[in-house]
Amino acid sequence: MTDVYGPVSDWENDFDHAVPEYNERAHDIWAEFQASGCPVAHSDRYGGLWAPFTHELVHEIAYDTDHFTSQGVVVNTGRPLIEAPVGPAPPITSDPPFHNIARRLLLPPFSPKVIAAWEPEVRRLCRELLDRMGEITPGESVVDAAVQYAQSIPVNVIARMLGFPTEDEELFRGFVHDVLERINEPVEARLEFMQRLDDYLTEQIEEHRANPRDDLTSYLLGVEIEGQKLSIEHVRGSIVLLLVAGIDTTWSAIGSSIWHLGTHPDDLQRLVDDPEVMLFALEEFLRAYAPVTMARLVREDHDFHGCPMKANDWVLLPFPAANRDPAQFDRATEFVIDRQENRHGAFGLGIHRCLGSNLARLELKVAVEEFVARFPAFTVDGEVTWSVGQIRGPRRLPVRVDAIA
| Closer Cβ to another protein, 361 or 395, answer by number | 361
Q: Interface residues for another protein in 282-301 (CB under 8 A)?
A: 283
Residue 38 exposed, middle or buried by CB count within 10 Å (0-12, 13-18, 19+): exposed
* E strands in 242-326: 294-298, 302-304, 307-309, 314-317
Q: Which stretch binds another protein (CB under 8 A): 77-85, 178-186, 336-344, 381-389?
A: 336-344
Q: Interface residues for another protein in 101-120 (CB under 8 A)?
A: 104, 107-108, 110-113
Amino acid symbol at 259:
W
Q: Does 357 bind another protein (CB under 8 A)?
A: yes
Please state the closest distance from residue 276 (CB atom) to another protein, in A: 13
Contact indicator for 191, 197 with CB cutoff of 8 Å: no
Position among 139, 212, 222, 350 found at the interface with another protein (CB under 8 A): 350
Q: Does 191 bind another protein (CB under 8 A)?
A: no
Counts for the chain of helices (H) and strands (E), in that order:
16, 14
Distance CA 26, CA 387 (A): 11
| Closer Cβ to another protein, 346 or 377, answer by number | 346
| Closer Cβ to another protein, 95 or 185, answer by number | 95
Distance CA 168, CA 147 (A): 16
Q: Does 100 bind another protein (CB under 8 A)?
A: no
| Closer Cβ to another protein, 345 or 393, answer by number | 345
Q: Which stretch binds another protein (CB under 8 A): 179-187, 238-246, 347-355, 368-376?
A: 347-355
> φ and ψ at 112, to 5 degrees?
-55, -45
Q: Does 79 bind another protein (CB under 8 A)?
A: no
Q: Are strands 394-396 and 385-386 parallel, antiparallel or unpaired?
A: antiparallel
For the chain, how are helix, strand and coil distributed in percent, rounded to 5? Answer: 50, 10, 40
Number of residues that bind another protein (CB under 8 A): 23
Please state the closest distance from residue 322 (CB atom) to another protein, in A: 11
Q: Which stretch binds another protein (CB under 8 A): 140-148, 177-185, 192-200, 345-353?
A: 345-353
Query: What is the rounded (10 degree) CA torsion for 268, 271, 277, 280?
Result: 40
Amino acid symbol at 278:
M
Q: Does 262 bind another protein (CB under 8 A)?
A: no
| Closer Cβ to another protein, 172 or 319, answer by number | 319
Instruction: Look at residues 374, 136, 361 and name the one whose alpha carbon lies nearest to residue 272.
Output: 374
Q: Does 343 bind another protein (CB under 8 A)?
A: yes
Q: Does 96 bind another protein (CB under 8 A)?
A: no
Please state the closest distance from residue 362 (CB atom) to another protein, in A: 11
> φ and ψ at 352, to 5 degrees?
-100, 20
Position among 43, 77, 358, 390 found at the interface with another protein (CB under 8 A): 358
| Closer Cβ to another protein, 21 or 283, answer by number | 283
Amino acid symbol at 393:
G
Amino acid symbol at 332:
A
Please state the closest distance from residue 307 (CB atom) to another protein, in A: 25
17 in the Ramachandran plot: left (φ > 0), alpha (ψ -120 to 50) or beta? alpha
Please state the closest distance from residue 58 (CB atom) to another protein, in A: 12
Residue 378 β-bridge partners: 401
Contact indicator for 348, 62 with CB cutoff of 8 Å: yes
Q: What residues make contact with another protein under the rule CB under 8 A? A: 104, 107-108, 110-113, 279, 283, 340-345, 347, 349-351, 353, 357-358, 361
